[in-house]
Structure formats: C-alpha cells, structure tokens
C-alpha cells in the first residue's frame, strides 16, 4: 500500500518548450484559462482544502479510496495529511519531500530535483502560465459540470516516463482546481477531488517542517 500511495500522491496543487496547443472550436482557449488561473493564484498566499483520492487499477479492475487534508503556502510548501484509511503524511518544503508512514515507522525522503513526479502535487495552485506550458502541451475543453478542463501532456521525457496525461478541472469562479486526474501508461488512474477550499488562512512555515521520531527509519530515494 505504501508504494502505491507514494506513486499516486507524489504524482499529483513550481511546475516544470511547448506552447499551449490550439483548442477545438467551441471550447475555451487554453492560454486564456491559464492566464485566469495565474491571476487568481497571484492573490493567494496560502490555502487549505479537503481531498478524496481514488486509485484505479486497470489490470485488476480495482479501486482504492483515501481522504485527508491539504495545506499549501507559497513558495512551494505543502502538507498532505491522509486521515483514512491510514495516517500517512507528506511534507514538501524547498526541494525535498518527506513521506511519513507511521504504521511501518518509516520516512521516505525524495529529492524534488531527482523525482519529477513530486512536482505534480503543485500544479494549479498558484503557478504561472509559463511554468505550466514550459513542459506541457495544453488543450482546453468544457466539462459537463461547467468547469474548464485542461489536458496536460508532458512535452519532455522526464515527465512522460511517469505519466501520459494530467487532466485538471478548474472552478470557473475561483479559477482553482476542484479535481485532477493522472493517467499512467499502464492504464492505472489516480483522481484527486478537492472540497472546502479556503484561502483566508496563514499557516506558519514550521508546519511544513518534519523531524522523524526517534527509531523511525529514513529511506532516501
């Protein structure tokens, strides 16, 4: 379970050259959607939200669900706290991510300079349009629920090795992601759904620091 959790969670709110792809007739313009997201994100210093994660395994036709909370603060600090079915926590600060697995008393440490999947956690939460289009081909469409849908296809091998496409569902009022889907080459899919998003918060930087408890194994990746 922990291996799947790491692969899923470290792959989804500083993103890593291709411009946005032209949109189909009758759909929103990708550059316009990205510009609105960038404008909205510029006014956000921090946010909190609840999330639900669905991991879908194509080979076994199996679905696993988990849930928790996310806290984000500029620049590039995030804390993912899983509440159910276990209490895994992921701390991101600077160029390092720490995943704490209390059930097995282990911390998995990931260098963001080495593991490109981790950067996917930040997409849509205050990035500039340039940051997103630098390494993705972008296409926009309209969701049935009125959201703007952005399909992000990796434009370079480092990211393409981990997934073939990301799909973001953007709230047309707040211009923040309410849902993200990650499609892997093997057919597996991970879905994050966000709710109760608040931007009137001011978490302390210390919240994103984590010191492993005594006796906990630290594994470097």
pLDDT at res. 212: 93
In the structure, what pLDDT confidence band is assigned to residue 163 with cuts at 50, 70 and 90?
A: confident
Phi/psi at 160 (5° precision): -60, -25
Burial 176-210 (b: 16+ CB within 10 A, else e): bbbbbbbbbeeebbbbbbbeebeeeeebeeeebee
- Distance of alpha carbon 129 from alpha carbon 37, whole angstroms: 8
Angle (nearest 5°) at CA 150 between 146 and 154: 165
pLDDT, mean of residues 163-192: 91
Given a cut of 70, whether residue 101 has pLDDT beyond it is yes
What proportion of the chain, given as a percentage, has pLDDT over 70?
82
Specify the CATH class of 2-220 in words. Answer: mainly beta
pLDDT, mean of residues 128-137: 86
Which residues, other chains included, contact 23 with Cβ-Cβ below 8 Å and sequence gap of 6+? 29, 30, 139, 140, 141
**What average pLDDT does the chain have?**
82
Given a cut of 60, whether residue 68 has pLDDT beyond it is yes
pLDDT at res. 67: 96
The whole-model pTM stands at: 0.78
Given a cut of 50, whether residue 7 has pLDDT beyond it is no
pLDDT at res. 203: 96
Listed by start position, the domains of the chain span 2-220
How crowded is residue 3: how many other Cβ atoms within 10 Å of its Cβ?
A: 8
pLDDT at res. 4: 46
């Amino acid at each position: 379970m922990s291996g799947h959790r790491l692969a899923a969670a470290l792959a989804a709110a500083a993103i890593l050259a291709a411009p946005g792809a032209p949109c189909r007739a009758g759909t929103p313009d990708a550059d316009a959607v990205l510009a609105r997201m960038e404008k909205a994100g510029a006014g956000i210093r921090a946010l909190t939200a609840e999330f639900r994660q669905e991991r879908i395994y194509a080979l076994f036709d199996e679905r696993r669900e988990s849930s928790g909370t996310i806290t984000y603060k500029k620049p590039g600090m995030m804390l993912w706290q899983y509440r159910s079915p276990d209490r895994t926590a992921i701390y991101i600060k600077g160029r390092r991510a720490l995943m704490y697995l209390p059930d097995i008393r282990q911390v998995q440490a990931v260098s963001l300079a080495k593991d490109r999947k981790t950067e996917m956690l930040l997409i849509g939460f205050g990035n500039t349009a340039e940051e997103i289009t630098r390494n993705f081909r972008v296409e926009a469409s309209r969701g049935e629920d009125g959201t703007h849908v952005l399909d992000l296809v990796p434009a370079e091998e480092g990211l393409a090795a981990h997934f073939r496409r990301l799909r973001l569902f953007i709230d047309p009022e707040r211009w923040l992601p309410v849902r993200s889907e990650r499609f892997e080459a093997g057919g597996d899919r991970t879905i994050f759904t966000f709710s109760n998003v608040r931007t009137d918060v001011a978490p302390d930087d210390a919240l994103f620091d984590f010191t492993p408890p005594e006796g906990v194994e630290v594994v470097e990746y």
